[in-house]
Amino acid sequence: MSRVPPRNSALADRRVVVIGGTKGIGFATAEAAMAKGAEVVVASRDVSRVAGAVERLGARASGASLDIADAEAVARFFGQIGPFDHLVTTAAHVVRKPLLEADLAEARASFDSKFWGQVNAVRSGAPLIRAGGSIVLVSGISSRRGIGTMAFPAAINGAVEALARSLAVSLAPIRVNAVSPGYIDTPGHGGPERAATLAKVAAAIPAGRPGRPEEVAQAILYLLTNPFSTGTVLDIDGGHLAA
């Protein structure tokens, strides 16, 4: 269903590109941006998922199939969509295994997806961002929280956060920030032991529950719309780091 753009919204009539915008945090971000009056372009590797997301989002949304790890495909994608205002990158496939158990090919593919994928998006997308625009990358709290199965995600997330801070300087006046989610209740988390994992997380953090995709989306919209926020890594983790 199409929404009428709120006239007083910082995102009204702005164009927001969300790579990974067909599920989880990415879809929640696209939906929240549209509720603020933005036009949204979503991209994902899964063609059928793109079509479904665009149908759910409504008339001010469009979409495309895209593998963020493919630099040439990313360049073509941005060449086709033209100028826009804000870029959000949530797409990634990351292996979550202890270092000694993980296949190194999987680990390298994880870097290609979450780190180099975001690099691809920024390199091709930044030249098309209009004045006053911004970029939000996605990392994760494993960069600063020791978790036994998360050696590779931790390294990737740390690299993404360092990248965001450096790009805030080198790409200025484009603002560049990162959001660092804790454990978020999405279908991709938990596997066959999902219920037990959720209960364990709930008992371990001050918030008493995992986060929800729309809560991370709120943090992303803050970074998109606050004109004095750049070079920031914003934790949205229910107090996980504090605990």
Which CATH number is 39's domain given?
3.40.50.720
Residue 70 within any structural domain of the chain: yes
> Is residue 195 predicted with pLDDT exceeding 80?
no
Which one is predicted more confidently, 192 or 23? Answer: 23
Number of separate domains in the chain: 1
Residue 8 within any structural domain of the chain: no
With bands split at pLDDT 50, 70 and 90, how would you rate the model's confidence at 146?
Answer: low
Residue 129 within any structural domain of the chain: yes
Do residues 136 and 179 make contact, with C-beta atoms less than 8 angstroms apart? yes
State pLDDT tens for residues 62-114.
999 999 999 999 999 999 999 999 999 998 777 677 776 778 888 888 888 89
pLDDT at 3: 47
pLDDT at 187: 65
d(CA 91, CA 69): 9
Do residues 106 and 95 make contact, with C-beta atoms less than 8 angstroms apart? yes
Residue 66 within any structural domain of the chain: yes
What percent of the chain is predicted at pLDDT more than 70? 90
With bands split at pLDDT 50, 70 and 90, how would you rate the model's confidence at 7?
Answer: low
Longest dimension (CA), the chain: 54
pLDDT at 72: 97
Do residues 92 and 113 make contact, with C-beta atoms less than 8 angstroms apart? yes
Residue 7 within any structural domain of the chain: no
Task: Kindly state the average pLDDT of the residues 133-146.
Answer: 88
Residue 206 within any structural domain of the chain: yes
Residue 6 within any structural domain of the chain: no
State pLDDT tens for residues 10-26.
999 999 999 999 999 99
SS3 for the chain, per residue? CCCCCCCCCCCCCCEEEEECCCCHHHHHHHHHHHHCCCEEEEEECCHHHHHHHHHHHCCCEEEEECCCCCHHHHHHHHHHHCCEEEEEECCCCCCCCCCCCCCHHHHHHHHHHHHHHHHHHHHHHHHHEEEEEEEEEECCHHHCCCCCCCHHHHHHHHHHHHHHHHHHHHCCCCEEEEEEECCECCCCCCHHHHHHHHHHHHHHCCCCCCECHHHHHHHHHHHHHCCCCCCCEEEECCCCCCC
Beta bridge partners of 39: 15
pLDDT at 199: 82
Burial classification of residue 193, based on how many CB atoms lie within 10 Å of its CB (0-12 exposed, 13-18 middle, 19 or more buried): exposed
Is beta strand 84-89 parallel, antiparallel or unpaired with respect to 61-65?
unpaired
pTM of the model: 0.90
Task: Kindly state the average pLDDT of the residues 171-175.
Answer: 98
Task: Kindly state the average pLDDT of the residues 129-149.
Answer: 86
Domain that holds residue 69: 15-235
With bands split at pLDDT 50, 70 and 90, how would you rate the model's confidence at 221?
Answer: very high
Q: 62-76, 123-137, 181-195, 216-230 — which is least confidently predicted?
A: 181-195
Residue 80 within any structural domain of the chain: yes
